[in-house]
Each structure stands twice: as C-alpha cells, then as structure tokens.
Amino acid sequence: MTDVVTLTLGPALDCTTATDRVRPTRKLRCDAPRYDAGGGGINVARLLHALGTDAVALFPAGGWTGKAFEDLVRSSGTRFRVVPTSSATRQSFCVNDRGTGLQYRFVLPGAALQAAEQQACLDALTAEAVGARFVVLSGSLPPGVPPTIIADVADRTRAAGARLIVDTSGEALRSALETDAYLVKPDLEELEDLVGQALATDADQEQAARQLLASSGIAILLVSLAERGALIVTREETVRLPAFAVTPAGGSGTGDSMVAGLTHGLIDGLDIRQAVRLGMAAGAAALMTPGTALAEPALIHRLYAGRERAGRPRAAVA
C-alpha cells in the first residue's frame, strides 16, 4: 500500500540542452543533452518521494524511449508501475538560448494509447490505489484517449477509498469538473476558457470560480494565478493567497511542484490553506532551481516557514 498514486497517461522523455544563440538555417552547436522522465504525474511522484511521502508513479511506456524513461524513474528512487504499450514513449526537446536567456520548447506528438492499453492503465490503478489516501491525475491526455477516462479514474479512486486530485487541461479538465474529485487545479487561462470570458479583476475571477464550483461535483477548485498568487474556492469559503516573491533561475515544473507540495501537506495533516501555501512554496522553489532539476526539499520548507531571503525579486509565483 502507498499514500499517493500518481497517474500519467502521456509521459515524455524530455531532452534539454543549450546553445549560444538560436538562429534560423544555421547549425547550432549544443551542450551535452540532459534527459529527464517528464509528465505531470511523474514530476509529482518524484518530488513527493524527495519530500518523504510514500508515492508510486503509474504510467504507460514502450519502445526504446520507454526503456530509457523507466531507467530514469528508477534512478530517482521513486517507486513505479509500468503498463507496456505497443508504441514508443513520446519525446520532447528543450533548448536554452544563453544569449537571450530564453527557452524554446518543442513538444512532439505522442503515440495513440490503444483501448486495451487504456483499460490496462485503469486496472493497474485499481490495484495500486488500494489503501492509498490520494490519487493524482496530472498531465495531458495522449491521442486516442477520450476525456471520459477522467470519470473512470474518479470511479476507481472512490472505490479504493482515496481522494482524487486532477491537474490537466482542455476537455479533460472540463470532464474533471463533472466528477466528484476532491480538488481540481486550473490556471487563470484555463479558468477563462472554462467560463468563456476574460477575467481581468479579482472579483471576476472569484465569481467565475464560485459559479464553476457550484455547478460541478468537486470539493475544491484551486486556481493558480502565477505572480498574483492562488485562489482557493470551496463550498464554504473563497480564499486568496499571495505569491512568494523569488528571483527566477530558469527552473521548470512549477505547477507539478505545486501539486506535489500541497498533496504532501494534506498527507501531513495540514488544512487546505496551509497545504496550498506549502504547494506554492514548492512551485516557487522550482522556479528558483536552474534547469529541470527538482527543487530541494530544504528550500521548500525554508520558503514555507518564511526563512528564505528572496533578495531582489524579479518575479513572483504561485
């Protein structure tokens, strides 16, 4: 048994490198590449493991990229379960431009997940979720996977006696609102897409989030607002938390880190406000950490406790 099961239906083998300047038509001499096991639930499980929460990452994988992906997850010490697939695991490619400080991300399309493979993922979730306290479904859906799979995940999570946290996008996000998930986390752009209008003011955002929650089956809507903090909406209250002001170092995975931090906080018995604040500290720590490396747990706890000095902040994150 485990405390948290993460489900990543669209994992990716991430390749990151750097060059002096990104220019068209020229051959760009790059640094030695760094490879990481990417995908929302993978990142969440890795950070949960680093924070000391027992977690298992569940994901489909296949081909030579899938084998490399498994090896990377294994090397992190994170427990995992693989559902074999007939198609190779997708790749993504990231280039950091040293001259401008900009980052270019190329996301390759994933192979379709066949119906039998989808069913195998659901069956594996049923087995792994026994005794778990939370299931975290994070990341986008690969081709061939209908948004209705979110309801299947919710049903199996409920049957296992666990609570579901969802961090996804598009129609999958809309489907999540039709389930009885414990928490769903859109960002502001996704919230605007869900309600079909721009939300320029705090009052607009809060009203839209409350209306969305009222018409849904979920317990908590958590809206990540980047430099403007985070908005927590429950049936009883609406709470806005300010962001942590930090100096970015080019880090990535802030959203996944936020989900991992808040899940860790809930496992530790924090109330939703403090758990979200811990999640925000994890997201801020990820932004302060160069490259694709995970934020150090010690930095996360220092930020959460208010003991980390931000210096001259250039940005603030949720």
Q: Which domains does the chain have, with CATH numbers?
A: 4-317 (3.40.1190.20)
Report the distance separating Cα 298 and Cα 128, nearest Å. 29
Distances (CA, A) of 184 to 167, 218, 262, 284, 316: 6, 7, 12, 20, 22
Q: Which two tokens stand for residue 309?
A: 């000095």
Closest among 182, 236, 244, 234 to 212, alpha carbons compared = 234
**Residue 307: CB partners within 8 Å, gap ≥ 6?**
none
**Residue 150: CB partners within 8 Å, gap ≥ 6?**
137, 166, 168, 172, 175, 176, 178, 179
pLDDT by residue for the chain (318 residues), tens only, comes to: 799 999 999 999 999 999 999 999 999 999 999 999 999 999 999 999 999 999 999 999 999 999 999 999 999 999 999 999 999 999 999 999 999 988 898 988 888 999 999 999 999 999 999 999 999 999 999 988 999 999 999 999 999 999 999 999 999 999 999 999 999 999 999 999 999 999 999 999 999 999 999 999 999 999 999 889 999 999 999 999 999 988 877 667 789 999 999 999 999 999 999 999 999 999 999 988 876 677 899 999 999 998 765 444 444 455
Report the distance separating Cα 318 and Cα 273, nearest Å. 13
Residue 101 confidence (pLDDT): 84
Report the distance separating Cα 258 and Cα 286, nearest Å. 9
Amino acid at 229: G
Q: Write out the catalytic residue numbers.
A: 256
Start-end of H helices in the chain = 40-51, 63-75, 115-128, 149-159, 170-176, 188-195, 202-214, 254-267, 272-288, 297-305
Q: Which two tokens stand for residue 142?
A: 């690969």
Residue 292 confidence (pLDDT): 67
Q: Which two tokens stand for residue 4?
A: 């948290």
Residue 1 confidence (pLDDT): 73
Contact 243, 27 (CB under 8 A): no
Question: Mapping DSSP to helix (H, G, I), strand (E, B) and coil, where does residue 51 land?
Answer: helix
Which letter does DSSP use for residue 289 in this model?
Answer: S
Report the distance separating Cα 268 and Cα 271, nearest Å. 9
Residue 309 confidence (pLDDT): 55
Which letter does DSSP use for residue 66 in this model?
Answer: H
